[in-house]
Structure 1
Amino acid sequence: MIRRLYDWVLHWAETPYGVPALFLLAFAESSFFPVPPDVLLIALAISIPARAFRFAFVCSLGSVLGGILGYSIGFEFYDLIGKPIIEFYHGQEKFEEIRQLYDQYGTWAVFIAGLTPIPYKVFTIASGVFNFKFVTFMLASIVSRSLRFFAVSALIWFFGPKIKHFIDKYFNLLVMAFTIALIGGFVLLKYVF
């Protein structure tokens, strides 16, 4: 099923509705949809590299606005809407761990979730459930989601179509390596400097 959704998302890159589809996909993925917008972002950026950063902006905007919906679902409608979404992604057993991450790391929990392949929707909904500061949630979302999508677009803009296969094959590994380097940098700043 996920593969069919993936293929369906990719087909939008070949239509005149690719940019609106990218916005809607990024919006939906931040609150309930399983396919990450990177798939369509990569396809669009490869098809028109000169617009790669415009596509990243559209993707970031859709994702952040979708995150607001996810936050609202958690804050106002958790039992009705949020809980079934979390259960669909088998996140109920992780929910207490997520609460501990919020208690321990706060903003960094949202930031890392926004940057990595971790299902962001779980964190947007959790932010509302745990009554996480909305302004802080928004700032972490804007920075992390923009960093993620602009980094993908920058790679495509710089390397062109030959990078698509590399990104497709190693996307999760690349994001995790970047995240580890980022966390390592903060640990160094905290304990060394």
Structure 2
Amino acid sequence: MLRKTYDWVMGLAASRHAPAGLAAVSFAESSFFPIPPDVMLAPMVLARPDRAYVYATICTVASVLGGMLGYTIGHFLGPVGEWLLMVTGNAGGQAAFEAWFAEWGLWVILIKGLTPIPYKLVTISAGLAEFSFFTFVWASVVTRGARFFLAATLIKYFGPAVREEVEKRLTLYTVVGLVVLVGGFIALKLL
């Protein structure tokens, strides 16, 4: 079952519809969707390393546009933004982000945009905090671009060797990945 799912994802990543799906996930993740675009970016770059930077560009542009939607939700639709943060399990983090924006401003976007912390938390909170929209946009381009281009570069050059290893021990790496993912969510909740 796991092998069939893996093969299906790799096939989808190589399909002609993959870039549109990547754009949709990147856009949605920045404002309301809980799954990061990396889950599509990685297999797409593995399937087509020659298009790694095209995929990174798609992720960056769509993520920034989605971030603009997240900012707009926070800025103009505060209760909706607070509800989205609550539904995605980040309601407690919103107050902390507003305090961070008040003290650190630009650095919150630049640092948090590179981390696995859900970017929607940054975008919606920036709108709620009424942070400068212009600064938010250019900082998002820099930080999201750096993240996706770095990921695409690493996968392009080191991915094939990693792919061979993962395919040999797919079940082991799936279990390890799930443990890390669940552990990350628990750590975010505790922090």
Say yes or no: TM over 0.5. Answer: yes
SS of the residue 1:161 aligns to:
helix
Partner of 1:176: none
Q: Aligned AA for 1:17? A: H
What corresponds to 1:45 in structure 2? 45
Report how far residue 74 of structure 1 moved. Answer: 0.5
User: Hey, what does 1:126 align to over in structure 2?
Assistant: 125
Report the 3-state secondary structure (helix = DSSP H, G, I; strand = E; otherwise coil) of the residue aligned with 2:89. coil
User: Given the superposition, is the C-alpha separation of residues 76 and 12 from structure 1 closer, same or farther in structure 2, using an over 3 Å criterion?
Assistant: farther
Tell me if structure 2 keeps the 8 A contact 1:13–1:44.
yes
* Alpha-carbon shift at residue 51 of structure 1 (Å): 0.5
Query: 1:115-142 CA deviation, whole Å, 9 max, x = no partner?
Result: 1001110110111111100111011100
Structure 2 residue runs without a partner (length 5+): 1-6, 167-172, 181-191
Aligned residue identity for 2:67: G
The Cα shift of 1:110 comes to 1.0
1:126-175 Cα shifts (integer Å, max 9, x gaps): 1111110011101110011000000011012222322355x9968x8xxx
Report 1:131-146 matches (<5 A): 131-146=130-145
**2-side partners of 1:14 and 1:84: how far apart?**
36
Does residue 107 of structure 1 match 2:106?
yes
Task: Work out the CA distance in 1 between the residues paired with 2:19 and 2:49.
Answer: 14
User: CA RMSD for the aligned pairs?
Assistant: 2.6
Could you tell me how far apart the structure 2 residues matched to 1:158 and 1:65 are? 28
Task: Give the match for residue 161 of structure 1.
Answer: 160
Partner of residue 91, structure 2: 92
Displacement, 1:8?
9.3
Deviations 1:5-62 (A, max 9, x none): xx99777414321001001100000000011001100010000001101100001111
Which TM-score applies when normalising by structure 1? 0.77
> Any idea what SS the aligned residue of 2:33 has?
coil
The sequence identity of aligned pairs, in percent, is: 39
Q: After the TM superposition, which residues 44-83 of structure 1 pair with which residues of structure 2 at under 5 Å, given as runs? A: 44-79=44-79, 81-83=80-82
Counterparts of 1:170-189 in structure 2 under 5 Å?
A: none
Structure 1 pair 34–9 and aligned structure 2 pair: CA distance change class (3 A): farther
